[in-house]
Structure 1
């Protein structure tokens, strides 16, 4: 009779993933946000792993946690392992050439740049289903199951990149508001609309175009750039426009640029993929359309 002794059990994969995320991000809360679980779940996963290993991986302190010497020693190996696993998953998806394409984009890009292009994409690629997720920060292309991302960036994170244009800023407003803007000093008479994610845009533009002019930036700040654009179209004030996001409104005449000065920022609108797609594949055709549309 064959003897089948019980084999030692390794630690749960979720516990390994929790440790890697907490070590890489520097805390349990940040790891919980990335893995879409509660901080308590991260704590329990790491306790499970520490019990299995028989040694602490983090030192708990009143102000937070820090990697123990053991945790610090092995953290990089776990990150490399999960990176390789992510690459394998992305390679599998690339080879499978799915008809569902997962896109992650900055909310303003999803609403103002990508959304107007979706009807033409659906018409050209009727077999493809597009899923768009709006998020404030780019996902890790080695970890998250997105096929492509579209974000403003000055620090490309690797993978295959396609530039969709430099981020250029300049004031824009409704035509009726522009009638009262004969000089930059006239901005003092109107609300200067801003976006919370780009809180320094007005100061950047004023320093570059009018360094000797003292203009106090006063006006509402919106957490959604698309809402700020709508308010500018409605005549609520003067918005610091990002050219790639307000171009359609400028072409339609809903917004105008009252001043001639434009400032190019050190970042671009980038389309990123974890792997370069196969020529003629669904992802490749979609990327070609987006680059051409830009």
Structure 2
């Protein structure tokens, strides 16, 4: 039988795991609600107890050592098992829960309308959908799986690219009293709607236009609001296919021209590596890939 009296201080283990995950003592301190100095002291004490350097220190910067990386991975598995056991004990006879996180725009416009089909297939699962523009701390927030829109660089997580996306202009069929531009060079005669950090310039170039990026007018932080503004006739929007396709199919929006440019970011399925073994995560991943496979891509 294991001698649990020989375990290192649990507070020090938690401090080290957080520091290893963030690669930063200050962010680990914020997570655990202690001072930077407390994290540094606990990690130093743990290194002395183990007789191993867990971090290499370069002034104020730290870098985890190979030994520290292996130890952090083992700790993460153990802490995840404890969290899962706690959740199972608290759940008792209640339904098994799957917690999914995604950007608000993707959650509202793409994922939420489809989740009913998933629940029909797995009625014993309780699905908690969280939407946030902030990166989720999967360990701290007890999230099972997430869908992120980016470039795939998510350290410490299992990452799988699941879908690309494309930009193209859309407008309400009632915009400008139904007189929509017939050629791309007429676009600048109308208000052009856009999202922050999603410029028109790449689409202009793909359409063979030598135009400057639009300035002024409406700029949105949320892609859902962009699509809604286009539906309401406030201008011509540069929209992502995954988010605008339902309105295009319903006739609430018209896709202008046959030019689409691929987004530099893609959609990724992310989770803690240990979470891939959870039955609810496996069935959600399989269902999600089937839904994506049945989606019509832009020409």
Cα drift, residue 289 of structure 1: 2.3
**TM-score, reference length from structure 1:** 0.73
Q: Tell me the equivalent position of 1:241.
A: 239
Unpaired stretches in structure 2, ≥5 consecutive residues: 49-54, 89-94, 293-299
Superposed, 1:45-124 pairs within 5 Å as: 45-46=38-39, 48-49=41-42, 52=45, 66-67=60-61, 72=63, 77-88=67-78, 93=84, 99-124=96-121
SS of aligned partner of 2:253: coil
CA distance in 1, matches of 2:113, 2:65: 43
What SS is found at the alignment partner of 1:46? helix
Tell me, in whole angstroms, the C-alpha distance in 1 between the residues paired with 2:65 and 2:237. Answer: 45
Structure 1 residue 209 corresponds to structure 2 residue 203:
no
Query: In structure 1, what is the Cα distance between the partners aligned to 2:270 and 2:45?
Result: 39
Segments of structure 1 that go 5 or more residues without pairing to the other structure are 1-5, 60-64
Q: How does 1:95-244 map to 2 (within 5 A)?
A: 99-136=96-133, 138-139=135-136, 145-155=142-152, 157=154, 159=158, 161=160, 163=162, 165-177=163-175, 179-196=179-196, 199-210=197-208, 212-218=209-215, 219-244=217-242
Q: TM-score, normalised by structure 2?
A: 0.72
Distance 1:85 1:50 in 2: 14
Q: Kindly tell me the number of residue pairs found equivalent between the two proteins.
A: 266
Secondary structure of the residue aligned to 1:113 is helix
How large is the Cα RMSD of the aligned pairs?
A: 3.8
| 2:279 corresponds to 1:289 | no
**Alignment partners' CA distance in 2, 1:286 and 1:54:** 40
> Distance between the aligned counterparts of 1:236 and 1:172, measured in 2?
11
2:168–2:261 contact (8 Å) kept in structure 1:
yes
Q: What is residue 270 of structure 1 aligned with on the other side?
A: 268
Q: Give yes or no for contact 1:194–1:222 (8 Å, CA) kept in 2.
A: yes
Whether the 8 Å contact between 2:17 and 2:76 is mirrored in structure 1 is no
Partner of 2:297: none
Contact 2:15 2:43 in 1 (8 A): no
